Amino acid sequence: MPTLYHHPMSSASRFVRLILAEYGFQTDLVEEQPWEKRREFLTINPAATLPVYVDDNMRALCGPNVLLEFLDETHGVLKRDKRLFAEDPFQRAEIRRLTEWFLLKMEQDVTRPLTKERVYKLQMTAAQGGGAPDSKVLRTARGNIRQHMKYLSWLAGSRTWLAGDRLSYADLAAASSVSVLDYLGEIDWQETPIAKEWYQRLKSRPSFRPLLAERIRGITPVSHYADLDF
Amino acid sequence: MPTLYHHPMSSASRFVRLILAEYGFQTDLVEEQPWEKRREFLTINPAATLPVYVDDNMRALCGPNVLLEFLDETHGVLKRDKRLFAEDPFQRAEIRRLTEWFLLKMEQDVTRPLTKERVYKLQMTAAQGGGAPDSKVLRTARGNIRQHMKYLSWLAGSRTWLAGDRLSYADLAAASSVSVLDYLGEIDWQETPIAKEWYQRLKSRPSFRPLLAERIRGITPVSHYADLDF
């Protein structure tokens, strides 16, 4: 069986797990702590990014962007109305732009600093950079959440799904980041009812269940994390 | 005619200009200073990344990743042996991985900090963050160049082109970053003869000429910058 190297609090890992689940694709999951820079892991992926998919012939595919395209080319094209991508090149461009927005820009502004300070630093040794969260970094990242949720609300309010009429990679990318932040109790849902309605729809999908059932050592999720009706 | 918003020292902009030139595609070029965060520019691309392509119907395509896929879907597929992408999904994944390596990882480790400190800060006002280069940032980025050039040499030495037997997006991405660094005299070519031979081949292509002819206000390139035999 193919293997997916992932981390439960990496939004890119969650994104690829959602794609695989939507397409009914089984893999073994191996948890990787990318900050350990394990030699074997760097041999597979010199960029040390997650997730990494290794197929039965030991061929590796690294990172969410490479994987989303590969999974579309090898599986998505056969899925007809369940395909998570579009046919039209402009529509595909919009799905890619938004997927990148959530997995690169929101990641950089919000998700990565918050997970690093609140999750990874707890698991890192002092030599790896572990320790207490940096309150200045937390403050800046939290200041950025509101703007990202506003953009998400605007998209969710003006379209059926984030990139248009159909569920797409863009929704899975946004929901991955949101679910990580929601685990940590960083999202004020009362402020964003439109985004909340959209996230409820995502959360109710069977592909989401394994993510909602997962728990991180040492960090309890907010009480509503796994509730479909929150 | 379509318009490409770019900056002459942005490797992602150079990358897309090379693709357009290889495919014989004409656009108007508009220089954009992304740190100015012009309102009209942010309306087109909220992520404020470069380059941005606006077609004749005013539809915008933002960033190198969205553009490389779009240009392949609309032009590359018709180019037969001049296509800058492969047919095989695994080969495509390798081209994407390397393109991302040069335009995201090398960008983050080397190209962005060096251009920011040495080029952009000269053009920025004090309020925008302009001023003298930070010597610590320069030192770190320069320390990272060697490792990136070593990886590039390894790829160029073990394959005809970086991702395999044919010229691909991976070569154009790497050459874009390298050409920016070379303009600034940051590359020690004596140390990397294999990468040099590969870069000579790239530099000699007609698509490269406009880049080699361009000059940045206030910064003279190294003497060999435009020489095909350096």
In a domain, B123, yes or no: yes
Order of all β-strands in the sheet with B52-54: B28-31, B3-6, B52-54, B60-62
Residues B97 and B190 in one domain: yes
Q: What span, in angstroms and rounded, lies between the C-alpha atoms of B106 and B162? A: 15
Query: What pLDDT, on a 0 to 100 scale, did the predictor assign at position B70?
Result: 97
Q: What span, in angstroms and rounded, lies between the C-alpha atoms of B57 and B45? A: 16
8 Å CB contact between A180 and A208? no
**pLDDT tens digits, B174-186:** 999 999 999 999 9
- The per-residue b/e assignment along A44-55, b for 16 or more CB within 10 angstroms, e otherwise, is bbeebbbbbbbe
Q: How far is CA A56 from CA A1, A154, B89, B95, in A?
A: 6, 42, 15, 21
Residues A45 and A150 in one domain: no
- Which chain A residue lies closest to B147 (C-alpha atoms)? A46
Q: Which of B47, B82, B117 is the last residue of a domain?
A: B82
Residues B110 and B202 in one domain: yes
Query: What pLDDT, on a 0 to 100 scale, did the predictor assign at position B106?
Result: 98
Q: What span, in angstroms and rounded, lies between the C-alpha atoms of B33 and A155? A: 27
Q: Place A171 in a pLDDT band, splitting at 50, 70 and 90.
A: very high
**pLDDT tens digits, A172-186:** 999 999 999 999 999
Omega cis (within 30) before B51? yes
Given an 8 Å threshold on Cβ–Cβ distance, is B63 in contact with A97?
Answer: yes
Q: Give this complex's ipTM.
A: 0.94
Residues B208 and B134 in one domain: yes
Report the DSSP pairing between strands B28-31 and B3-6: parallel
**B69 contacts in chain A (CB < 8 Å):** 69, 92-93, 96
Instruction: Kindly report the nearest CA distance between residue A66 and chain B, in angstroms.
Output: 6
The residues, any chain, with a CB within 8 Å of residue A177's CB and separated by 6 or more, are A11, A102, A103, A106, A107, A110, A111
In a domain, A121, yes or no: yes
Residues B115 and B202 in one domain: yes
Mutate to test the interface with A, among B69, B74, B102, B107 (most CBs of A within 10 A): B69
8 Å CB contact between B71 and B23? yes
For residue A230, pLDDT beyond 90: no
Supply angle C-alpha B178, B179, B185, rounded to 5. Answer: 90
The one-letter code for the residue type at A151 is Y
Name residue A4's beta-bridge partners.
A29, A53
In a domain, A24, yes or no: yes
Q: What span, in angstroms and rounded, lies between the C-alpha atoms of A203 and A229? A: 9
Instruction: Kindly report the nearest CA distance between residue A224 and chain B, in angstroms.
Output: 31
Mutate to test the interface with B, among A42, A55, A69, A77 (most CBs of B within 10 A): A69
In a domain, B230, yes or no: no
Q: Which of B56, B82, B108 is the last residue of a domain?
A: B82
For residue B218, pLDDT beyond 90: no
In a domain, B152, yes or no: yes
Instruction: Kindly report the nearest CA distance between residue A203 and chain B, in angstroms.
Output: 27
The residues, any chain, with a CB within 8 Å of residue B50's CB and separated by 6 or more, are B5, B6, B7, B10, B12, B13, B32, B34, B63
A51: nearest Cα among A96, A21, A8: A8
Residues A70 and A95 in one domain: no
B8: nearest Cα among B119, B128, B129, B124: B119
Instruction: Kindly report the nearest CA distance between residue A152 and chain B, in angstroms.
Output: 13
C-alpha A205, offset from chain centre: 15
8 Å CB contact between B93 and A70? yes
Residues B157 and B49 in one domain: no
A27: nearest Cα among A6, A3, A51: A3
B81 membership: H or E segment, kind and range: none
- Give phi and psi for A216, each to the nearest 5: -95, 135
Q: What span, in angstroms and rounded, lies between the C-alpha atoms of A144 and A49? A: 23
Given an 8 Å threshold on Cβ–Cβ distance, is A69 in contact with B92?
Answer: yes
For residue A218, pLDDT beyond 90: no
User: In this prediction, what percent of chain A has a pLDDT beyond 90?
Assistant: 94
The one-letter code for the residue type at A120 is Y
- CATH classification at residue A32: 3.40.30.10
A89-100 vs A64-74: helix axis angle to the nearest 10? 150
8 Å CB contact between B13 and B50? yes
- Residue B226: both structure tokens together: 């435009």
**pLDDT tens digits, B92-123:** 999 999 999 999 999 999 999 999 999 999 99
Q: How confident is the model over A17-33, as a mean pLDDT?
A: 96
Residues A67 and A178 in one domain: no
Inter-chain Cβ pairs, chain A and chain B, closer than 8 A: 59
Query: What pLDDT, on a 0 to 100 scale, did the predictor assign at position B28?
Result: 97
Omega cis (within 30) before A210? no
Q: What span, in angstroms and rounded, lies between the C-alpha atoms of A92 and B168? A: 21
In a domain, A220, yes or no: no
Residues A45 and A110 in one domain: no
Q: What span, in angstroms and rounded, lies between the C-alpha atoms of A150 and A193? A: 10
**pLDDT tens digits, B26-40:** 999 999 998 898 999
Residues A103 and A187 in one domain: yes
Residues A95 and A31 in one domain: no
In a domain, B34, yes or no: yes
8 Å CB contact between B222 and B182? yes
Q: Which of B82, B114, B147 is the last residue of a domain?
A: B82
Q: How many structural domains are present in chain A?
A: 2
In a domain, A228, yes or no: no
**A59 contacts in chain B (CB < 8 Å):** 90
**Containing structural domain, residue B121:** 89-213
Residues A8 and A30 in one domain: yes
Q: What span, in angstroms and rounded, lies between the C-alpha atoms of A211 and A230? A: 16
Q: What span, in angstroms and rounded, lies between the C-alpha atoms of B4 and B6? A: 6
Given an 8 Å threshold on Cβ–Cβ distance, is A100 in contact with B65?
Answer: yes
For residue B229, pLDDT beyond 90: no
- CATH classification at residue A173: 1.20.1050.10
User: In this prediction, what percent of chain B has a pLDDT beyond 90?
Assistant: 94
Interface residue ranges in chain A relative to chain B, Cβ cutoff 8 Å: 46-47, 59, 61-63, 65-66, 69-70, 73-74, 89-90, 92-93, 96-97, 100-101, 105, 151
Q: What span, in angstroms and rounded, lies between the C-alpha atoms of B5 and A135? A: 38
Q: What span, in angstroms and rounded, lies between the C-alpha atoms of A158 and A164? A: 9
Nearest CB to B65: which of A46, A65, A70? Answer: A65
